[in-house]
Amino acid sequence: MTSSLSAQDDGTIVIIANRGPHDFVWEDGRWIAKTAAGGLMTMIEPLARQPDVAWFCCVSEPPGSEAERDALYTTAKDQTAPDLNVVPVPLPADVYQDYYGEISNEVLWMLQHNLVGQFGYSSLDERRHRAWDNYLHANERMADAVLATEIPVRAFLIQDYHLYPLAEMLRQRYPETASLHFIHIPFPDPSVLKLLPKAWREVMLRGLLGADVVGLQTRADVRSFLSCCAEVLGAEVDFSQRTVRLANGRVVRARAFPASSDPAAIRALQDSPEVQAGRDRIAAVTAEMNVIRVDRLDPSKNQILGFTAFGRLLEAHPELHGRVRFLAFLVPSRTDLTVYRQYHDAVYAEIAAINERFRGTCGFDPIEVLYTNDRAQAVAAMELCDVLLVNSRQDGMNLVVKEWALVSRKPGVLVLSESTGVADDIPDSALLVCPLDVEGTASALAEALAMGGEQRGAWVEQIRNGVHKWTARDWLEAQLKELGLALAAPPAKPEPAPIAEPGVVERELTVRNREGIHARPAAAFVRCAREFDDEIELLKDGERYSAKSILAVLTANLSCGSTFRLRVEGPNADLVAQRLSEIVASFADEDR
């Protein structure tokens, strides 16, 4: 049966994740809430903002801050959004470091992205074995923290690899309460999982089987999970029903819920002043053609081989020198972990070598790194890039691809690793590459840069339509439905934005300022139009006027109340139309 979450007597839906919608940081002797970055938050937010939902998250409590624990709870209440019910669970900093850094990221993250050896999971020493105890301990603390609140719980939604043992621990405390554990990263096959000690992999699988539903990104992940249950635990698995029957008769379902993006939220971001500022900054570093990448600086994203492939592209195609640039939007991540610091240095060394080699013939550094967490700036670059490179070693889904398809205006071409979850959905709309194949990636980059506009537009549209058909909200609703719950009052699904004829944008504008577009406003309008190479015209009363000629604009007789069509054709069509519309609107503001 399906019930609305807002019904009081249903109890609370409890979300449990390592990160909350905010990070709690101990700075200068006090707790501060900072908005957390990442896809997880945006996907869960519609649920988190409903009444009767609580979000438990882990917080690293540094020595000396314990006495201020009450202040942590007060900060969670006062500094986060009023409609979010966030419950921080403090863990001593050394326990947190073991649970989050040593085990979750340096072992599980690496193993599940097939990173074994250099820049990955390489061995387990005595230190790591002690860290495993703290991983278990951190999970116990989470389970106890929920119990301690004594809230009636309707269902648990557990997130990701930090919390593998948790569902089982919660079942001991809440035997009847429904739970779903969603894993955002790839699930390994049995042969890979066996690189963990027997006791660890058993805890991991038995922990997950404490849930009623194990959610994974793709059908391949579901198969891998079921195979591990069969081979590692010897459990009774039904591959056709995608279920595991436990010794006590309880049946656990394994289901794929591919993560997705929120088109409305992305569109709102695109309209923000932050993205506009990003466009202005990006304009200063772009070349005639631009390859971009947008990802956390992480060995799983395979940045080094991506840059090596770009170097090979320049070597094989001297005609591209001075015409193409690689803009790398790298987001700092897990910087206190040794393996991430080493990877950072190796990435920078590769970039330096390529820039050194080709700077002279290109006339500029062919690779430009923007090492910062600035989503708005990255969106601005995604709008107009020629090629988006996503060559991850492995990736649960990769939401950058979906966001790029939503914001792309030029449009560009996607060069995509076959080992990403998203590649399963869009095999015919991207140039697929094997992530370890440097030569193949270089060839794909060359092919992408040479591809015609019509083909590019058709591919982007296919991906974009796919995102509109299955959004972040669908991802969430499908999970709730699996537990017999529903989100209250879903808003109407936004229609996919129509894609105009490639490179052409038309807009209907009305002149609202008292003096009309004469003299000074006309000069400002023309000045802006002349900043772009695109063809820009005003269509009025069956006539066409060039927007770059002051005489033509004056002749169009754009008096107050008159309406005209702005037509822009060229690579920056969307951007130009947006800028000129804003200018026309700003003339009216000046009257006030």
Listed in sequence order, the residues at least 6 apart from 498 whose beta carbon sits closer than 8 Å to its beta carbon are: none
Listed in sequence order, the residues at least 6 apart from 397 whose beta carbon sits closer than 8 Å to its beta carbon are: 184, 217, 218, 258, 259, 260, 420, 421, 422
In whole angstroms, give the CA distance from residue 440 to residue 438.
5
CB 254 within 8 A of CB 225: yes
Minimum distance from CB of 442 to ligand G6P (Å)? 28
Minimum distance from CB of 205 to ligand G6P (Å)? 19
Q: Closer CB to ligand G6P, residue 333 or residue 391?
A: 333
What 3-state class would DSSP assign to 147?
Answer: helix
- Report if residue 184 touches ligand G6P, rule: CB under 6 A: yes
Give the one residue of 171, 334, 344, 402 binding ligand G6P; rule: CB under 6 A. 334
In whole angstroms, give the CA distance from residue 180 to residue 483.
8
Q: Closer CB to ligand G6P, residue 105 or residue 308?
A: 105
Q: Closer CB to ligand G6P, residue 40 or residue 423?
A: 40
Q: Closer CB to ligand G6P, residue 108 or residue 387?
A: 108
Output Rg (C-alpha) for the chain, integer angstroms.
Answer: 26
Give the one residue of 180, 185, 413, 460 binding ligand G6P; rule: CB under 6 A. 185
Q: Closer CB to ligand G6P, residue 72 or residue 185?
A: 185
Segment holding 351, helix H or strand E: helix 338-362
Element counts in the chain: helices (H) and strands (E): 22, 23
Beta strands in 347-491 (DSSP E): 367-371, 387-390, 413-417, 431-433, 485-486
In whole angstroms, give the CA distance from residue 571 to residue 576.
9
In whole angstroms, give the CA distance from residue 3 to residue 480.
10
Picking from 581, 508, 275, 256, the residue whose alpha carbon sits closest to that of residue 406 is 275
CB 545 within 8 A of CB 558: no
Minimum distance from CB of 298 to ligand G6P (Å)? 8
In whole angstroms, give the CA distance from residue 395 to residue 296.
12
Q: Closer CB to ligand G6P, residue 332 or residue 494?
A: 332
Minimum distance from CB of 592 to ligand G6P (Å)? 45
Q: Closer CB to ligand G6P, residue 159 or residue 578?
A: 159
- In the bound complex, which residue of the shown chain has the CB atom lying closest to ligand G6P? 184
- 86: which strand partners? 55
- DSSP characters for 32-80? EEEEPPSHHHHHHHHHHTSTTEEEEEEEEE-TT-GGGHHHHHHHHHHHS
- Report if residue 375 touches ligand G6P, rule: CB under 6 A: no
Strands 387-390 and 485-486, sheet pairing: unpaired
Q: Which parts of 265-294 interact with ligand G6P (CB under 6 A)?
A: none
The residues assigned a catalytic role are 518
Q: Closer CB to ligand G6P, residue 185 or residue 214?
A: 185
Q: Closer CB to ligand G6P, residue 101 or residue 210?
A: 101
- Report if residue 166 touches ligand G6P, rule: CB under 6 A: no
Give the one residue of 38, 190, 322, 496 binding ligand G6P; rule: CB under 6 A. 38
Helices 303-316 & 338-362 angle (0-180, nearest 10):
10
Whether the bond into 366 is cis, omega within 30 of 0: no
Minimum distance from CB of 45 to ligand G6P (Å)? 14
Minimum distance from CB of 184 to ligand G6P (Å)? 3
- Report if residue 570 touches ligand G6P, rule: CB under 6 A: no
Q: Which parts of 45-84 interact with ligand G6P (CB under 6 A)?
A: none
- Report if residue 19 touches ligand G6P, rule: CB under 6 A: yes
Beta strands in 474-579 (DSSP E): 485-486, 504-510, 535-540, 543-546, 563-569
Minimum distance from CB of 490 to ligand G6P (Å)? 25
- Report if residue 333 touches ligand G6P, rule: CB under 6 A: yes
In this structure, is the dihedral angle defined by the CA atoms of residues 356, 361, 365 and 367, taken in order, positive or negative? negative
Picking from 225, 473, 434, the residue whose alpha carbon sits closest to that of residue 309 is 434
In whole angstroms, give the CA distance from residue 417 to residue 437.
10
- Report if residue 579 touches ligand G6P, rule: CB under 6 A: no
Give the one residue of 102, 106, 160, 534 binding ligand G6P; rule: CB under 6 A. 160
Minimum distance from CB of 296 to ligand G6P (Å)? 7
Give the one residue of 13, 15, 40, 89 binding ligand G6P; rule: CB under 6 A. 40
Q: Closer CB to ligand G6P, residue 40 or residue 463?
A: 40
Minimum distance from CB of 169 to ligand G6P (Å)? 19
Strands 535-540 and 543-546, sheet pairing: antiparallel
Q: Applying CB under 6 A, what is the total number of residues that bind ligand G6P?
A: 8
Minimum distance from CB of 53 to ligand G6P (Å)? 19
In whole angstroms, give the CA distance from residue 112 to residue 43.
22
Residue 277 burial (CB count, 10 A): 14
* Tokens describing residue 384: 């107009």
Judged by the rule CB under 6 A, the positions of this chain that interact with ligand G6P are 19, 38, 40, 160, 184-185, 333-334
